[in-house]
Amino acid sequence: MRLISSALCTTVAVALLAGCSGMSQTTPSAPSSVGGTQSNYSHGRHVPHWSFPANAAGLTGAAVHYREVLSKFGKKHGNDGGIYASEFLGTDAFGYQHVNTGNNPPECSVGPVSYINGMAVDGKGNFIDPDGGTRSVIVFSGPGMCGSEAGSVSDPFGQPSDASSADAVNGTIAVGNIFGPSGSISAGSISLCTLAGGCTTNLQNPNMFEVAGVAMDNSGNCWASATNSSGTATLTYFAGCTGSGVAATGYENSSYGGLDIDKNGNLVAISAFTSQMYVYSGCNPACTLVGGPFSMQGEAVFGHLNKQSMTFCAGDFSTAEMDVYYYSPSALTYWYSFNNGLSPSFEPEGCAYNPRSSQ
């Protein structure tokens, strides 16, 4: 995740993330659970991950089962959908097939976009672009992939870094601002916006200085993953997306990162700089650890679940790829990565499924 800056690899803490030269890259040697042995490190250049074959040959029994379930569910409900991937320095966000084990190129794109950190799909299949370059929130129509622009709204409260909404066209969009209007000297926040009425409410809390991820559940409650002014990772809960918020207790993340909500209502929280994922229940404000920490394949700030909460896609900025995992509240297992059409120099960072998690 990155603050807009002309000195792309030398800005403050967050400007830290994606794609400065010299990052190590990893190629897994075989299908394995996350956290297993990895090999073939390369310094300073991009090495694509090995991918599972397009058919079931060579897959473990669990992987075959997941694939069969996902395929049958998609055909029955017409929810084959796809995966969106974005690059911080790119001018388009790309739409890929829902299961891209063959590392196929994107099938469509939306744009123009600029300086996207995180991004999201709402409960209606609309694509939400927290557009850092224009300091606005742009919504592209769903439920199909890569629809036309439905509308946009200016965000006066800072640089958008992430977003969440049940219905971005007709309802409220919670927008995470990495920092405030004055950049890295002013605290980040959550903006509450509608396409019809603009961004009219700003949620702030002393625990939130540098904001990464935001989540809003279907009941209208909000969470922000951030660091405070001392650099400590925090999670802040806003009941009803109103008021001054309260610090969540029982939150164990060592670093901030993207947030999502699985089909059981659990909060899925990435710990970006430790390459881990935690799964919590509650966090309103008391968190109960459900699963994790689970090791992730590479370093990612943002990622999202698919409709069935069976797979999770993360934007791996350390290898300029999208990493896909099998997900359950009690386990996270690496499946495959894809990068066709993505440029390491453009810093791939965001990944989201359409349809999103049913929450």
- Render the burial of 104-119: b for 16+ CB within 10 Å, e for the rest: eebeebbbebbbbbbb
Q: Is residue 129 part of a domain?
A: yes
Give residue-wise pLDDT tens across range 161-208: 999 999 999 999 999 999 999 988 999 999 999 999 999 999 999 999
Q: Is residue 168 part of a domain?
A: yes
Q: Is residue 4 part of a domain?
A: no
Give residue-wise pLDDT tens across range 226-281: 999 999 999 999 999 999 999 999 999 999 999 999 999 999 999 999 999 999 99
Q: Is residue 196 part of a domain?
A: yes
> Which pLDDT score is estimated for 80?
63
CB within 8 Å of 303: residues ≥ 6 apart:
258, 260, 270, 312, 313, 314, 315, 351
| Domain around 90 | 13-354
Q: Is residue 234 part of a domain?
A: yes
Q: Is residue 99 part of a domain?
A: yes
Domain of residue 29, CATH code: 2.120.10.30
Q: Is residue 7 part of a domain?
A: no
Give residue-wise pLDDT tens across range 68-89: 444 444 434 344 699 999 999 9
Please write down the HEC assignment for all residues of 120-170: EECCCCCEEEEECCCCEEEEECCCCCCCCEEEEEECCCCCEEEEECCCCCC
Number of domains comprising the chain: 1
Q: Is residue 347 part of a domain?
A: yes
Residue written as tokens 């890259």? Answer: 25
